[in-house]
Amino acid sequence: MNVVDIISKKRDGGVLSAEEIDFFVKGYTDGTIADYQASALLMAVCINGMTEEETSSLTLCIRDSGDTVDLSGIEGIKVDKHSTGGVGDKTTLVVAPIVAACGVRVAKMSGRGLGHTGGTLDKLESIKGFSTVMERERFVKTVNTTGLSVIGQSGNLAPADKKLYALRDVTGTINSIPLIASSIMGKKLASGADRIVLDVKTGNGAFMSNLSDASALAEAMVNIGKAAGKPTVALITDMESPLGRAVGNSLEVAEAIETLKGRGEERFLTLCLSLAAEMLCAAKKGSTEECLSMARDAVESGRALTAFRVMVIAQGGDPCQVDDTSLLPKACIVHPFVAEKSGYITEQRALSYGKAACELGAGRKRKEDGVDHSAGVYINKKLGEWVEKGDVIAQLHTSDADLLSRAEAYIAEGTKISEEKPILPPVIICKVNEQGVSSWTN
């Protein structure tokens, strides 16, 4: 088999066989296929696309390129949740404890943030002493004992994806639905869950800015899950404005804890309950409506907060910071962004607020950068709310005053005020499963 023939075939619109895709993935992973040859094939895929069968084959090759996680030692049906990334997206910190409190064990492997998109591990590491590194055997034991654990990916998980993603990042081949879908699902399938729930964001702060592309990505991933024997469901959710009020690591942890205490921002709580219900439904705990009721009760009873606290203790974190969120890392500088006129907030662009938080030190511009756990943006006035001239719309948290001007410029760019009250988009736009696209109501 010859890689040049494979490149030429895809360049001319041909369909690659499973054997050709396997030859390419193995060859690029072990270094026998050069970067320039892989770049050529990736560009051909971007231009000509892939069939469902090709995309599934690529995903399975990515899954099998390294270690796979065996979760068979964990009792019950294992359900994984994955978000395609957004601004202020701290849903795992709320959803996982809700699901665990309802009797479904959650073994979650998460990642770090890059750019305007935050990472679950960075958020959890805001808690003093919290460790996201754990041996596999201890991970399984912890989940069986406490019902919940969130750690970083370890070992040689999907090495083909790491190489392919790095190459796509520098060759203009990121925006390809087959390549995105296979990248996400290759890692998810290697992580060992029995079923998968996806939160596919759409809007200016999401990877997929328009609904059409988000729907296509969701359908592609659901089809991959079906082909791999891992039932998958996706909720397509709004990311035009930041999720909740906090953007930044310790700020988001505090908001997640307040949400678990029953004091969460309404739209954020709605999304968390909906995702938790889908996970519970996937674990065969009941109908969607019954699972939604279970999720609400887990919050209202305090059981979800207890599950989060137990996880923090099990992973070396300080439970006092759960009991009193004022003990979490705090920035030495808190700068107000005020309204220049009265009116309704008609635009609050997620991307702008995410860039501001990153500028303040909450995110990474390069993978090797560190983060300031105390930095970020707290939104006092949300999209659709009325403000008077001089009201504080947002607070900018940082440890470096020199970072304020650029961050404030991003907030100003992303905030609009007018006299007409806006109509807010639904939090959950639709649901995609093996039966197709449907509405999601609660």
Cα 350 to chain centroid distance, Å, stands at: 14
The span from the CA of 238 to the CA of 346, in Å, is 15
Residue-level pLDDT at 114: 59
* pLDDT per position as a tens digit, 336-348: 999 999 999 999 9
Q: Across the beta sheet with 195-202, what order do the strands follow?
A: 79-83, 195-202, 232-238, 428-433, 436-438
DSSP for 88-112 reads S--HHHHHHHHHHHTT--EEEEE--
φ, ψ of residue 345 to 5 degrees: the values are -75, 110
Q: What region, left, alpha or beta, does residue 177 occupy, with left being phi > 0 and alpha being psi -120 to 50 degrees?
A: alpha
Structure tokens at 211: 């609904």
Which residues are known to be catalytic? 82, 161, 168, 183, 187
Contact 217, 84 (CB under 8 A): yes
* Lowest-pLDDT range of 2-11, 102-111, 361-370, 397-406: 361-370
Q: Rounded to whole angstroms, what are the CA distances from 167 to 37, 42, 51, 84, 186?
A: 11, 9, 22, 19, 17
Burial class (CB in 10 A: 0-12, 13-18, 19+), 394: buried
Q: How confident is the model at residue 368 (pLDDT cuts 50, 70, 90)?
A: low
Residue-level pLDDT at 371: 85
The span from the CA of 174 to the CA of 171, in Å, is 8
Sign, CA dihedral 291-293-299-303, equals negative
Q: Which residue has the higher pLDDT, 270 or 365?
A: 270
Burial class (CB in 10 A: 0-12, 13-18, 19+), 402: exposed
* pLDDT per position as a tens digit, 154-167: 768 899 998 998 89
Q: How confident is the model at residue 247 (pLDDT cuts 50, 70, 90)?
A: very high
Whole-number average pLDDT of the chain: 93
* pLDDT per position as a tens digit, 300-326: 999 999 999 999 999 999 999 999 999
The CATH homologous superfamily of the domain defined by 3-49: Transferase, Pyrimidine Nucleoside Phosphorylase; Chain C (1.20.970.10)
pTM of the model: 0.93
Domain 330-418 carries which CATH code? 3.90.1170.30
Q: Rounded to whole angstroms, what are the CA distances from 413 to 31, 122, 262, 329, 421?
A: 45, 27, 33, 28, 19
pLDDT for 295 beyond 60: yes
Contact 351, 205 (CB under 8 A): yes
Residue-level pLDDT at 442: 47
Q: Rounded to whole angstroms, what are the CA distances from 388 to 247, 333, 344?
A: 23, 24, 9
The span from the CA of 108 to the CA of 100, in Å, is 11
Q: In terms of DSSP bridges, do strands 232-238 and 415-418 run parallel, antiparallel, or are they unpaired?
A: unpaired
The span from the CA of 353 to the CA of 359, in Å, is 10
Domain 79-323+427-435 carries which CATH code? 3.40.1030.10
Region 75-92: mean pLDDT is 92
Burial class (CB in 10 A: 0-12, 13-18, 19+), 366: exposed
Region 25-31: mean pLDDT is 96
The residues that bridge with 228 in the sheet, in sequence order, are none
pLDDT for 195 beyond 50: yes
Report domain extents, the chain: 3-49, 79-323+427-435, 330-418
Region 189-196: mean pLDDT is 93
Q: Which residue has the higher pLDDT, 235 or 440?
A: 235
Region 51-64: mean pLDDT is 96
pLDDT for 149 beyond 50: yes
Region 394-414: mean pLDDT is 97
From the list 202, 372, 197, the residue with the least C-alpha distance to 276 is 197
Q: How confident is the model at residue 438 (pLDDT cuts 50, 70, 90)?
A: confident
* pLDDT per position as a tens digit, 201-221: 999 988 888 999 999 999 999
Q: Rounded to whole angstroms, what are the CA distances from 323 to 96, 378, 416?
A: 18, 20, 36
Residue-level pLDDT at 113: 61
The span from the CA of 329 to the CA of 13, in Å, is 54
Helices (H) and strands (E) in the chain, counts: 17, 14
Q: Rounded to whole angstroms, what are the CA distances from 299 to 11, 104, 390?
A: 53, 15, 36
**Which residue stretches of 191-338 are H helix?**
211-227, 249-260, 266-282, 288-300, 303-314, 320-323
Burial readout 272-310 (b: 16 or more C-beta within 10 A, e: otherwise)? bbbbbbbbbbbbebeebeebbebbbebbeeebbbbbbbb
Residue-level pLDDT at 115: 57
